[in-house]
Amino acid sequence: MSLFTNDINSKLPDQPKAHNRSIDFSKYFKTCTHSSNAISEDSGNSFMQFFRAQCSVMLVISAEDGSVIEANPSAVEFYGYSREQFRLLNITELHKNSKFDISWPVGLAASTGKHSTVSTHRLSDGSLRVVEIFSSPLAYQNKDTFSLIIHDITPQAKAEDSTKGNDEYLKYFANRTDLVCWLSENGLIYMNDNFVHLTGISNDNLDEIPALLLKLVHPDDKASVCRNLFSRKINAEEVVNFNFRIIRANYEIRWINSLSYDVYETGSNRKMRAGIAKDITEIKHFENCLADAKEQSLESDRLKTAFLNNLNHEIRTPMNGIIGFSEILKLPDLTVEKRNYYTSIIIEQSKKLLSIINDIIRASKTDTYAIGFKKKRFSLNELLKETFEHYKNQHETDSLKFSLLLGLEEEESQIYSGKEQLAQILNYLLSNAVKFTSTGRIELAYKLSNSKLLISVEDTGIGIDKKHHESVFAMFRQVELSLDKSHGGNGLGLSISKKLVNYLEGEIWLNSELKKGTTVYFTIPYIRDY
């Protein structure tokens, strides 16, 4: 049957296969039964009348040597030889090949006295015709003969060859596409080689493929595969398109898209199911990446919006102070003390506003951190003391205490690094500690560990949930927006600190627990000579 086209041969009589074997006519004839096929002298005339009146091509040939004894008018017309010319021919001369290639099924003739074969005969003009020959033994004019009835089946043979050729072409292309192609009719009847490449299952035994394939299907997709591929309850002419996963022998998961539909043989009610399948793992991966990118984009937009709203609040606070107290300075009856006090507030709020603007510039320009970055020798102890004293003097109260732990002696604390960048990191971390700690303590400390300086800022403030420990270092990320608004700040400190630490060739991380406090650690190389 043709796999992809109509089976033309299903409308023709079954064609017997020729056996490539030459024959000895005399021996062949001895296997036949004479009595039932003998023509008496009285009936000879009747036989010849019948013989000549037949529309079918008929020949009588000698069983001994295959020479042509009689040819009816239909044979004369078909082959183009006259009756006299036929009597000078041997049956082998009609065949396109030599007499040794003539196919005669000896076993069939011996058992039934009759046989048929398909051969190719050459006409008088040299053209070739495919013929089907029905033969039976005959006693004619006291001679052992065969009667041959010959049918021209050239058109059917050409159609069959064309169909076979089409099938071969279709199979050729089916095996060179990246699709798995299959056809079923009460079970698989075709599966191309791409199935082997995709699953690793051989397509030699089609009956075993459904069970073997089901073993590879992901457990979560087995029900879907059984319903859409193996169920006999699929509605007629329904196109089934679905995706499922398989787990290959190396435990690799691949996504498969399967599409199947009913096909009908032209001119009959014969129905089959055809399908194609394709590996869409890369497409699925791309779709997942797009979904993740979309989610990240939406999250980024949300964070930026929240950041801008918070930044608006942060900028307006010092701006309102500057504008308000500047208006007060215009009052004529202000004492010198009050004027100096209001002026100091304006200066402090201006510095705060400038700090916010600097943070925004640093966050928006990655290369800003590299500008002016130059290592120089300085005392780490002195830098920590200066920074510590500034925050202690401004923020220490009876309920909030500050402490400083230095890990090296003064001489050993002389290092080569980026002093300005390190100072910015310390300011960001201490500012965050002060912002989120109202009672308890804040500690600035460092020690030498594995040729690196490990610096930490610890507080007993509100803390950070563990699920946010990584995300707090991302740009615009704020753990709780309401906290930012109530405690102040623009949410850029940790993000900028991380970039500064990276420029100093170090690492930064934190340990924190809600309502128990936070400790931020970072390292820088301990370099004494440059």
- Say which residue the tokens 């089976």 belong to: 7
Task: Locate CATH 3.30.450.20 in the chain.
Answer: 8-158, 175-279
The backbone torsions φ and ψ at residue 527, rounded to the nearest 5 degrees and listed phi first, read -120, 120
Q: Is 94 exposed, middle or buried (0-12, 13-18, 19+ CB in 10 A)?
A: buried
Measured in degrees and rounded to the nearest 5, phi and psi for residue 99 equal -65, -25
| pLDDT score recorded for residue 218 | 94
In three-state secondary structure terms, 411 is: coil
Helical packing angle, 419-435 and 380-395, nearest 10°: 30
Are 199 and 208 within 8 A, CB to CB?
Answer: no
Q: Which fold has domain 286-364?
A: Helix Hairpins (1.10.287)
Q: Is there a contact between 139 and 39 (Cβ–Cβ < 8 Å)? A: yes
Report d(CA 360, CA 496) in Å as an integer.
10
**DSSP 3-state of 129:** strand
Q: 79: which residues sit within 8 A by CB, 6+ positions away?
A: 57, 71, 86, 94, 121, 123, 124
Type of residue numbered 153: I
The β-bridge partners of 117 are 133
Residues sharing a CB contact under 8 Å with residue 516, sequence separation 6 or more, in sequence order: 460, 463
The residues pairing with 261 across neighbouring beta strands, listed in sequence order, are 274
Angle between helices 281-328 and 336-364 (to 10 degrees): 160
Q: What is the pLDDT of residue 12?
A: 36
> CA nearest 509: which of 524, 520, 525?
520
Cα gap 56→74, rounded to integer Å: 6
CATH topology of domain 175-279: Beta-Lactamase (3.30.450)
**Other Cβ atoms within 10 Å of 202 Cβ, number:** 13
Locate CATH 3.30.565.10 in the chain.
Answer: 369-525
pLDDT in tens, the chain (530 residues): 444 433 333 333 343 343 333 334 334 333 333 434 444 544 556 777 888 888 889 999 888 888 899 999 999 999 999 989 988 998 888 887 644 344 443 333 444 456 778 888 989 998 998 898 888 888 777 888 888 899 888 877 776 665 555 556 566 666 667 788 888 888 888 888 888 888 888 888 888 888 899 999 999 999 999 888 877 665 555 788 999 999 988 889 999 999 888 877 665 677 788 888 999 999 999 988 888 888 878 877 776 776 677 677 678 888 888 998 899 898 888 898 988 999 999 998 898 888 778 777 766 665 455 555 678 899 999 999 999 999 999 899 999 999 999 999 999 999 999 998 899 899 889 988 998 899 999 999 999 998 999 999 999 999 888 877 777 776 555 444 444 444 445 457 788 888 889 889 999 999 998 888 999 999 999 998 76
Report the CATH superfamily, name and number, of domain 8-158.
PAS domain (3.30.450.20)
What residues have CB less than 8 Å from 25, skipping those under 6 apart? 62, 63, 64, 65, 66
DSSP H or E run through 247? strand 240-247
CB-based contacts of 188: which residues, under 8 Å, 6+ apart?
182, 206, 207, 209, 210
Joined tokens for residue 142: 């006291």
One-letter identity of residue 118: V
| pLDDT at residue 165, as a whole number | 53
Taking 3-state DSSP, the helix, strand and coil percentages for the chain, each rounded to the nearest 5, stand at: 45, 25, 30
The residue behind tokens 């089946």 is 153
Find the distance separating the first CA and the last CA of the chain, reported in whole Å. 85
In the chain, residues under CATH classification 1.10.287.130 are 286-364
Pairing of strands 400-405, 440-449: parallel
Q: Which CATH number fits domain 369-525: 3.30.910.20, 3.30.565.10, 3.40.190.10, 2.40.50.100?
A: 3.30.565.10
Task: Look at strands 128-140 and 143-152 and give their pairing.
Answer: antiparallel
With left for phi above 0 and alpha for psi between -120 and 50, is residue 66 left, alpha or beta?
A: left
Number of CB atoms found within 10 A of residue 376's CB: 11
pLDDT of 100 reads: 38
